[in-house]
Amino acid sequence: MIRMNDLIRKKRDGLALGADEIRDMIASYTCGDIPDYQMSAMMMAIYFNGMNRDETLALTLAMRDSGDTLDLSGISGIKVDKHSTGGVGDKTSIALAPLVAAAGAKVAKMSGRGLGHTGGTIDKLECFPGFSTELSEKAFIDQVNKTGLAIMGQTKDLAPADKKLYALRDVTATVEQISLIASSVMSKKLACGADGIVLDVKCGSGAFMKDISSARALAREMTEIGKGAGKKMRALITDMDEPLGYAVGNILEVKEAIETLKGKGPEDFTKLCLLLGSRMLMLSGICDDEDKASELLMKKIEDGSALEKLADFVKAQGGDERYVYEPDRFKEAEKVTELKAWDNGYIEKIICDEAGFSSMLLGAGRAKKEDKIDSCAGIVFEKKKGDEVKTGDVIARLYHGSAVGAGASLARLKAAVTIGTDKVPDKKILIDEIE
Ligand code: URA
């Protein structure tokens, strides 16, 4: 039986905990033998004194092993996954997974719904009528072998220690610690069993990491954990200082992902898919050079096979694949309200998280787990950073139900946009890469 107060004292005094101590502590906390008040003290001690790499890896593995782990050995070849730390308009998985699968990669992915400005990947996939993410492990594995990709919802028992600990950190002001964030994210990723993981660490006003130095630190920490657990890892730090693409909101984003697979997507989003996808192909051993991988992915867009792969995937999971080829079938919002330019000039800034809140006010996201999402709601930008505008030009269209007034959302979005007089330097989606 561990003596939790000895461990708390050790961490409080700046000493490192042993891997066995961490494993026992997490197991005892998960089953309720260690009370929240002692774990809160431990989290605060870690918050102030940090953890070294060995401790962080031990914590991650202990949380991974606290519940179900997926055994993907029944899938032939190298399995790759990607994880994004999340942002506004992040529809990447919907386009990226079929894109890399069309190029031969095996994608076995677990995704969540999540709180936030728009739903998670699962909410977006469920915009296809009939689509189900409740797959048995066997059906999931069979589908990856047959189609090259499958996405299932996170099982309730995925890293339960993290679920309990994250809820505790949330109410004890101990979320914002790099080792704790990295171990939390990676415990869930490692439980999903892929051999190679590409991390998309977002940086900017719409991201969890607001500045480049903390984004780099998180990317490094997660990469080291993955390598320590025997995984092939790559991490990109990408821009989230303005919404990704033009669309924010579930059906709106799915339509944009479809357009992207037809080669008609927004430039920043298409570039991001090629950047992440090329790293996934390299981890899969399909390509050994980023440029060649990117060319192969472009070919899969141009010859229509990436779009076809999305349709196969939607159909395999019970969804109506006609929506892939005829996106006008998707339901539309009852009302559209426009944000128009109030001056001549250039869009200097769109405060990204404010744009996200604005879409949430329209019904596109949930503030609480129980909230219902309006899958038609959201925002489509006509103009983004650097674009020239004239007074009266439409900057964005807000989509919403007739019962939801757009006033508060419109005011919030307007306050998030700055129109300046000077041209703005070109933005780059890729900020840095950690190998
Ligand atoms: N997301 C997670 O899953 N865990 C954290 O600690 C922070 C963000």
Q: Which two tokens stand for residue 341?
A: 């330019």
The b-or-e profile of 316-354 (16+ CB within 10 A means b, else e) is bbebebebbeebeebeebebebebebeeebbbeebbbbb
The string of pLDDT tens digits covering residues 266-298 is: 999 999 999 999 999 999 999 999 999 999 999
pLDDT at 4: 97
**Which atom of ligand 1 has the smallest separation from the CA of 188?**
3
Strands 79-84 and 388-389: unpaired
Contact criterion met (CB below 8 Å) for 63 and 162: yes
Strands 345-350 and 388-389: antiparallel
pLDDT at 32: 96
| Percent of the residues in the chain that have a pLDDT greater than 90, as a whole number | 92
pLDDT score of 19 more than 90 = yes
CA-angle at 235, arms to 387 and 178, nearest 5°:
100
Contact criterion met (CB below 8 Å) for 320 and 130: yes
Is ligand 1 within 6 A of the CB of residue 59? no
Q: Whose CA is nearest to atom 8 of ligand 1?
A: 181
CA distance 106 to 84: 18
Give which of 124, 112, 51, 104 is closest to 83, Cα–Cα.
112
CB atoms within 10 A of CB 114: 17
Once rounded to an integer, what is the mean pLDDT over residues 235-262?
Answer: 97
Sketch the domain layout of the chain as residue ranges: 4-50, 79-325, 332-420
Q: How far, in Å, is the centroid of ligand 1 from the Cα of 377?
A: 26
| Percent of the residues in the chain that have a pLDDT greater than 70, as a whole number | 99
CA distance 419 to 384: 11
- Mutate which of 154, 175, 177, 186 for ligand 1 pocket (most atoms within 8 A of beta carbon): 175
pLDDT at 8: 98
CATH number for the segment(s) 332-420: 3.90.1170.30
3-state SS assignment for residue 305: helix
Helix intervals (H) in 171-241: 178-191, 212-228
Helix intervals (H) in 65-211: 92-102, 121-125, 137-147, 160-170, 178-191
Strands 196-203 and 417-420: unpaired
Burial of 3 (0-12, 13-18, 19+ CB in 10 A): exposed
Question: Residues near 250 by Cβ (< 8 Å), separated by ≥ 6?
Answer: 118, 119, 123, 124, 127, 364, 373, 375, 376, 377, 378
CB atoms within 10 A of CB 18: 14
- The structure tokens 């949380």 sit at 63
Question: Residues near 325 by Cβ (< 8 Å), separated by ≥ 6?
Answer: 307, 311
Is ligand 1 within 6 A of the CB of residue 184? yes
The string of pLDDT tens digits covering residues 67-98 is: 999 999 999 999 999 999 989 999 999 999 99
CB atoms within 10 A of CB 77: 15
pLDDT score of 36 more than 90 = yes
Which active-site residues does the annotation give? 83, 162, 169, 184, 188
Question: Residues near 314 by Cβ (< 8 Å), separated by ≥ 6?
Answer: 125, 128, 131, 320, 321, 323, 324
Q: Whose CA is nearest to atom 3 of ligand 1?
A: 185
Is ligand 1 within 6 A of the CB of residue 187? no
CA distance 411 to 403: 18
Class of domain 4-50: mainly alpha
The string of pLDDT tens digits covering residues 415-430 is: 999 999 999 988 899 9
Q: How far, in Å, is the centroid of ligand 1 from the Cα of 178?
A: 10
3-state SS assignment for residue 139: helix
pLDDT at 115: 63
- SS3 percent helix, strand, coil of the chain, rounded to 5, is 45, 15, 40
pLDDT score of 113 more than 80 = no
The string of pLDDT tens digits covering residues 360-407 is: 999 998 877 788 899 999 999 999 999 999 999 999 999 999 888 899
How many residues are listed for the chain in this entry? 435
CB atoms within 10 A of CB 431: 18
Q: Whose CA is nearest to atom 6 of ligand 1?
A: 181
Give which of 373, 313, 375 is closest to 109, Cα–Cα.
313
Contact criterion met (CB below 8 Å) for 114 and 104: no
Question: Residues near 48 by Cβ (< 8 Å), separated by ≥ 6?
Answer: none
pLDDT at 426: 81
pLDDT score of 118 more than 90 = no
Q: What is the CA radius of gyration of the chain?
A: 22
CATH number for the segment(s) 79-325: 3.40.1030.10
3-state SS assignment for residue 123: helix
Q: What is the mean pLDDT of the chain?
A: 95
pLDDT at 427: 80
Give which of 243, 239, 195, 236 is closest to 218, Cα–Cα.
236
